[in-house]
């Protein structure tokens, strides 16, 4: 069914359609039902022939088919949504160029007309029968709206007969150019109605909406801010002609100016700024990033500048969540190995109290983390005020350790009380035996933190994971009975944890041995 509705636009037809287009006025472009991006490819190719006008075209694509989404992304196009009929945005487009499914093209063109109601161009390829035989309410509505907009329609017989997916359907090409909305100031208009204009205040009832879903709440808040800001911009543009600093038409400038940062005000500039604000807020929200390590959070925060080109909506947030899910397990595993290295040789403090050496598999350079370790912490004690201060860096380091052990324990990190415990300790100036979920901490003025792990089984699991990643344990470790091991394998077991402890490992391999195939199940338990 999908193939029947997918008719890539022939280049010959595109050449006829865009023959007299003034590319100097086209910057922002949307191709809904983009397919493999044929229309966008042609526009980019054509724009390259006009270097004077080639100003880094801003192109967005919408495509419902997953395979074709991948094709579009492979070409470097932004895929901002899947279903055009459900798409909503505050962004304004100079051109919507579309070849929608022939079966319901009227719905797609009506949607495009609604999007461009404040100004913009539309090029749409339809089944000619859509306009020649308007037997449905939607088709009748479309014909009326096209007449009101002064649309120009051309018909092409056999336009798709030699296309990639051929069809003998007659095509209708509809071109609509809607003038930019003329902004008229409400304030100036009301003042002109009467010299005795007076504003009468009235009671305004506010109905609060309880929203439990944090994503739904923040999406609604973003939409409200978009609408309010855009209304303000339109109000300013409407007022601007009345607040000039001169009567000289050549040299006058507005007395009041409106900017976005250091740039002149524009709706798309404002939209991007608000998007950037909300994407940043999302990646700082603990409910959204609860299982991320500090390194992973920093990585996603660096993506905010790219995400400002995407609407802040449920679809794009969900897309990011899926992407995060694919990388989160590997990210946390990387963090586990990194923490293993930090707590061992990187933080041995010169006395090697943090680690216990053992005869590793095929090497004698092997160690495990002791139940008590010492790590450096900087500026934990203020000599000026003679107070302990547990800065963000301390909280971040301890939180990463906690998240690693959460991951190994198979529980969510979303309800951590660690920051509150640290703050309470600072308020009470407590520096010894501060209790956390998996460990206790004691801070010293010289800039060290002594960590004692409370769960020896979980520490053992941590050590097994780190040692296996380093290749210090036999490949069949925990799966092969002690009696069936060769001499070198038994020596490694004896040195690592001993025969009795190894028997416990073999009896509970599902607990002590983390396997890559368990990633998805582990991630699902963390995200619950």
Q: Are residues 158 and 223 in the same domain?
A: no
Q: Are residues 488 and 370 in the same domain?
A: yes
Q: Are residues 134 and 239 in the same domain?
A: no
Residue 78 in 3-state DSSP? strand
Domain that holds residue 398: 337-527
Domain count, the chain: 3
Tokens of 179: 């003038």
Q: What is the pLDDT of residue 120?
A: 95
Distance CA 388, CA 390 (A): 7
Tokens of 339: 């923490």
The reply to whether 327 falls in a domain is no
What are the angstrom distances between the C-alpha of 167 and each of 4, 5, 40, 63, 127?
A: 9, 11, 22, 21, 11
Picking from 319, 328, 276, 343, the residue whose alpha carbon sits closest to that of residue 297 is 328
pLDDT over threshold 70, residue 518: no
- Dmax (CA) for the chain in angstroms is 103
CB 98 within 8 A of CB 115: no
Band (350; pLDDT cuts 50, 70, 90): low
Kindly state the percentage of the chain with pLDDT values over 70.
83
pLDDT over threshold 80, residue 51: no
Tokens of 354: 């943090």
Q: What is the pLDDT of residue 476?
A: 93
Q: What is the pLDDT of residue 89?
A: 95
Question: What would the pLDDT profile of 291-343 be if each residue is shown by its tens digit?
Answer: 666 667 777 777 778 889 999 999 998 888 777 766 666 667 777 888 888 88
Question: What would the pLDDT profile of 246-257 be if each residue is shown by its tens digit?
Answer: 988 778 999 999
Tokens of 111: 């949607």
Q: Are residues 169 and 293 in the same domain?
A: no
Kind and range of the H or E run holding 460: helix 456-469
pLDDT over threshold 60, residue 205: no
Beta bridge partners of 381: 388
The reply to whether 1 falls in a domain is no
Of 312, 347, 376, which residue is a domain's last?
A: 312
Of 312, 329, 359, which residue is a domain's last?
A: 312
Q: Are residues 132 and 43 in the same domain?
A: yes
Per residue, the 3-state secondary structure of 271-309, as one string, reads HHHHHHHHHHHHHHCCCCCCCCCHHHHHHHHCCHHHHCC
CATH code at position 119: 3.40.50.150
Average pLDDT over residues 150-168: 76
Q: What is the pLDDT of residue 215?
A: 80
Who has greater pLDDT, 128 or 51?
128
Q: Are residues 60 and 150 in the same domain?
A: yes
Distance CA 59, CA 47 (A): 12
Tokens of 328: 């989160």
pLDDT over threshold 70, residue 164: no
Q: What is the pLDDT of residue 480?
A: 94
The reply to whether 322 falls in a domain is no
The reply to whether 207 falls in a domain is no
Residue 36: count of CB within 10 angstroms of its CB: 19
Of 128, 158, 178, which residue is a domain's last?
A: 178
Quote the pTM value.
Answer: 0.61
Q: What angle do CA 200, 205, 211 make, to 5 degrees?
A: 145
Question: What would the pLDDT profile of 85-117 be if each residue is shown by its tens digit?
Answer: 999 999 999 999 999 998 899 999 999 999 999
């Amino acid at each position: 069914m999908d193939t029947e509705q997918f008719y890539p636009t022939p280049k010959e037809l595109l050449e006829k359609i865009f023959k007299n287009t003034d590319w100097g006025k086209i910057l922002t472009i949307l191709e809904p039902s983009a397919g493999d991006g044929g229309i966008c490819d042609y526009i980019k190719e054509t724009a390259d022939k006009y270097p004077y006008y080639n100003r880094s075209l801003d192109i967005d694509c919408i495509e419902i088919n997953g395979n074709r989404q991948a094709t579009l992304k492979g070409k470097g196009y932004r895929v901002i949504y899947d279903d055009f009929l459900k798409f909503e945005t505050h962004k304004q487009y100079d051109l919507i160029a579309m070849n929608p499914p022939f079966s319901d093209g009227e719905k797609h063109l009506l949607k495009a007309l609604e999007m461009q109601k404040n100004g913009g161009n539309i090029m749409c390829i339809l089944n000619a029968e859509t306009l020649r035989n308007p037997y449905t309410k939607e088709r009748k509505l479309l014909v009326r709206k096209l007449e009101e907009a002064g649309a120009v329609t051309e018909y092409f017989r056999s336009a798709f007969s030699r296309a990639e997916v051929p069809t003998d359907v007659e095509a209708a090409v509809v071109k609509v150019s809607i003038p930019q909305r003329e902004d008229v100031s409400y304030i100036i208009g009301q003042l002109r109605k009467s010299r005795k204009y007076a504003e009468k205040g009235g009671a305004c009832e506010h109905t609060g909406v309880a929203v439990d879903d944090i994503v739904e709440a923040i999406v609604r808040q973003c939409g409200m801010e978009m609408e309010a800001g855009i209304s303000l911009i339109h109000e300013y543009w409407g007022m601007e002609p009345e607040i000039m600093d001169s009567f000289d038409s050549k040299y006058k400038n507005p007395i009041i100016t409106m900017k976005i940062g250091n740039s002149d005000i524009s709706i798309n500039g404002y939209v991007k700024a608000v998007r950037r604000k909300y994407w940043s807020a999302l990646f700082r929200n603990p409910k959204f990033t609860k299982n991320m390590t500090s390194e992973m959070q920093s990585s996603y925060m660096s993506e905010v500048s790219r995400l400002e080109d995407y609407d802040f909506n449920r679809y794009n947030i969900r897309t990011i969540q899926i992407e995060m899910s694919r990388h989160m397990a590997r990210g946390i595993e990387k963090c586990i190995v990194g923490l293993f290295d930090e707590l061992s040789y990187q933080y041995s403090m010169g006395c090697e109290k943090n680690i216990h050496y053992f005869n590793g598999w095929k090497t004698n350079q092997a160690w495990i983390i002791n139940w008590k370790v010492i790590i450096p912490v900087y500026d934990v004690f203020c000599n000026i005020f003679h107070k302990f201060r547990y800065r963000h860096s301390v909280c971040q380091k301890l939180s990463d350790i906690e998240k690693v052990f959460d991951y190994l324990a198979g529980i969510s990190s979303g309800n951590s009380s660690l920051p509150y415990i640290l703050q309470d300790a600072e308020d009470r100036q407590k520096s010894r035996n501060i209790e956390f979920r998996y460990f206790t901490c004691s801070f010293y003025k010289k800039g060290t933190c002594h960590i004692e792990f409370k769960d020896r089984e979980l520490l053992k699991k941590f050590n097994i994971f780190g040692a296996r990643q380093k290749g210090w344990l036999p490949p069949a470790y925990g799966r092969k009975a002690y009696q069936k091991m060769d001499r070198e394998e038994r020596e490694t077991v004896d040195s690592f944890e001993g025969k009795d402890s190894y028997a416990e490992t073999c009896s509970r391999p599902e607990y002590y041995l983390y396997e890559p195939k368990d990633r998805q199940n582990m991630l699902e338990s963390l995200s619950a």
